[in-house]
Amino acid sequence: GDNIYLGDRNAVRTPMQWSIDRNGGFSMADPARLYHPVIMDPVYGYQSVNVEAQMKNQSSLFHFMKQIIGLRRQYKAFGRGSLTFLHPENHRILAYLRRYKHEVLLCVVNLCDTIQPVNLDLSEYAGSTPLEMFGRTEFPTIGQTPYFLSLPPHGFYWFKIVPQAKPIGALDMGASLEKTLPRVVIESGRDSIWEMANKNILEKDAFPRFLPNQHWFIPTGQKISQTHITDWVKISANFWITFVNVSFEDGSEARYCLPLRIALDKDAERILEQVPKAVVCLVNIRQEISGVLYDAFFDEVACNIFYSAIEDSRHFVTDQEAAVRGFSVNRDMLGTPETDTAHPAVRHVTLKQRNTSLIFGTSAVLKLFRKVEPGVNPDIELREYLLHQTNFRAFPIVTGGLSYTEAEKKPAHIAMLQRYAQNDGDCAAFIEAHIQHFFKKLLAMPAKQLKAAPVHQPDTPLTDVVNNPIPQEALALMDDELIRVIEAIGKTTADFHAALSQPTRDKAFSPQLVEPGYLDKLSEVFTREVQDTLEILIRDFNQFDESLHGDIDFILSNCSGLVERFDHLHQLNVCGYLIRCHGNYKLHNMIRCGDDQIYILDFDGDLYFPLEVRRQKHPAIKDVADLLFSIATLGHTALANLRASHPDKVEDVRPWCR
């Protein structure tokens, strides 16, 4: 205990306030016999402030100090790292960096009793992302300009500076871009950028450097051996759609659609500063004017031109005499979209996607299919079937698109326009936030209750888990809103699969009876995929982060039991139907549209697989498995984050994640 009003050493001899019991739980003796009396202040007395109450309150000073001490112990830079003070203009802010080996921490403290802004020079870490260490929240990426923060009175931030991940084959994206970027020279018209000399630079230097840094580029685990510009078409001045064939070292190939645009002078400087990853190469026009060639989807004017090409069903002829056509569908069913302006504001969709999506005001969403594959696009195909052949409507309706057709080949859809659905965000972010809240309730439990997790054991069969209700102890910790959303997801999933299970004359969607031997083939596929994964873990063990070595060792030591599980599949007596499925049924592909209504997005499946594979039929349980895996991933990610703040609680909380 401590009583700051007492002199000498008497202050620290005040009885410790353990609980609301007699003498604060410090002693059962008569109060008059205590060396010093307990504090009786109505605000700070033992009836209000005591250890027992602090331990029950997850927001208390006790838990705050426990969390901050535990977090500090996780990072050696706090105790052993070098100390570098930053010198912002706002002298009310203390900012410094701690560095130890590859660990870089940024600490920012507001020493004032009012809210304060600050600009920090972090250009040394341009391209890196500040990760707030308590909530594991990613802040905006650091650029060349001063980094702005706003701090509450006496508030502080602890950030871990996370460097930008470099994909296989990617080159340095550091500050000196002008030294690393290739350069092309345009001597005549702008279309001369596709002439032989410049084309060679783009194919040999620019695209192999640019592509692996893009979130929509699908990695194969192999380095790019070469790229080749197969075709291009001019959409407007300084704006082209380019088709690039990518060859990998293992002999595989893929073709990508790249909308490209040239920016000059100050516009080029802005692009280099704000979105350096979008830059393909530097451009010089007649050795006088400097600029950049960059991804046109980072330019609002180009995006509106692309949008208009679809809306107006425009037709273009490419350099190789192929056709790029805009088309419209379902306009008679939907009417004219409400827009405030002829060119609504454009913003990028931040959901995890292997394609690129743009939102135009509150009227439409434009999705660019980066990977070019001739044939029926399942995203458009599934939506059109559901709209015209079923009563299922929990998805944004297609209103148009853009196709690319080469001679004697099937059309390839390169873009799709869909009606915008007003929403409250994707289900992944919603459930992730509620998992964090669920964990807070767990941490506030008494230790004995926390250890007695009323959950299924890891080896419990899935059928038993499904048929048994959620334990009441776990259900009581879930928010009502979370339960409603999960129920809505379940209902939407059931309605979606019911719609796809209806008899139809359309062979692409007619349910197919499960044939004998289907489970044997499935078992072989699963076993082969597991074996391939285990081989990669063994081969590349030393390339993984050291923090993952323990988990990898555990997987490798238990791999035999994992494969044995698939051997039992052929013993099951399963009868049922195979139907068309979503193919990538994850929480980030669902949005909440109010009144517990769920909309499904992105019906194009897992883009790692070819088009025809993604159109194959499967048991509906495949989508359910994807969904359960998505939820489990969020839970285990939250559990991994918990290790930083409450390392002693991780094993107690883990059973509640099952």
Q: Is pLDDT at 55 greater than 80 in this prediction? A: yes
Q: What letter would DSSP give residue 202?
A: I
- Report the amino acid identity of residue 555: I
Q: Which helix (H) or strand (E) holds 548?
A: none
3-class SS string, 318-363: CCCCCEEEEEECCHHHHCCCCCCCCCCCEEECCCCCCCEEEEECCC
Contact 426, 588 (CB under 8 A): yes
- Say how far apart CA 658 and CA 652 lie, in whole Å: 12
Query: What is the tens place of the pLDDT at every residue in 200-218?
Result: 999 999 999 999 989 899 8
Q: Which helix (H) or strand (E) holds 598?
A: strand 598-600
| Residue 454 bridge partners (DSSP) | none
The number of CA neighbours under 13 Å toward the Cβ of 620 is: 16
> Which CATH superfamily is 69-162 part of?
Golgi alpha-mannosidase II (2.60.40.1180)
- Report the amino acid identity of residue 79: G
The pTM of the full predicted model, rounded to 2 decimals, is: 0.77
Q: Which helix (H) or strand (E) holds 627?
A: helix 621-645
Q: Which helix (H) or strand (E) holds 64?
A: helix 61-74
- Say how far apart CA 368 and CA 365 lie, in whole Å: 10
More reliable by pLDDT, 456 or 175: 456
3-class SS string, 134-166: CCCEECCCCCCCCEEEEECCCCEEEEEEECCCC
Query: Could you give the percent of the chain with pLDDT greater than 90?
Result: 51
| Residue 104 bridge partners (DSSP) | 99
Query: What is the pLDDT at residue 172?
Result: 44
Contact 246, 191 (CB under 8 A): no
Structure tokens at 417: 């326009």
Q: What letter would DSSP give residue 287?
A: T
Query: What is the tens place of the pLDDT at every residue in 519-553?
Result: 888 888 888 888 888 888 998 888 887 778 888 88
Domain ranges of the chain: 8-56, 69-162, 177-298, 305-419, 427-514+575-657
Closest CA to 471 of 342, 277, 658: 658
464 pLDDT band (50/70/90 cuts)? low
Query: What is the pLDDT at residue 377?
Result: 96
- Say how far apart CA 224 and CA 289 lie, in whole Å: 32
Contact 180, 279 (CB under 8 A): no
Q: Which long-range contacts (CB under 8 A, 24 or more apart) does 213-218 make?
A: 213/167, 213/170, 213/173, 213/277, 214/277, 214/295, 214/370, 215/353, 215/354, 216/353, 216/354, 216/355, 216/356, 216/370, 217/167, 217/256, 217/370, 218/254, 218/354, 218/371, 218/607, 218/608
Q: Is pLDDT at 342 greater than 70 in this prediction? A: no
Query: What is the tens place of the pLDDT at every residue in 191-202?
Result: 889 988 899 999
In terms of DSSP bridges, do strands 183-186 and 279-285 run parallel, antiparallel, or are they unpaired? Answer: parallel
Query: What is the pLDDT at residue 320?
Result: 94
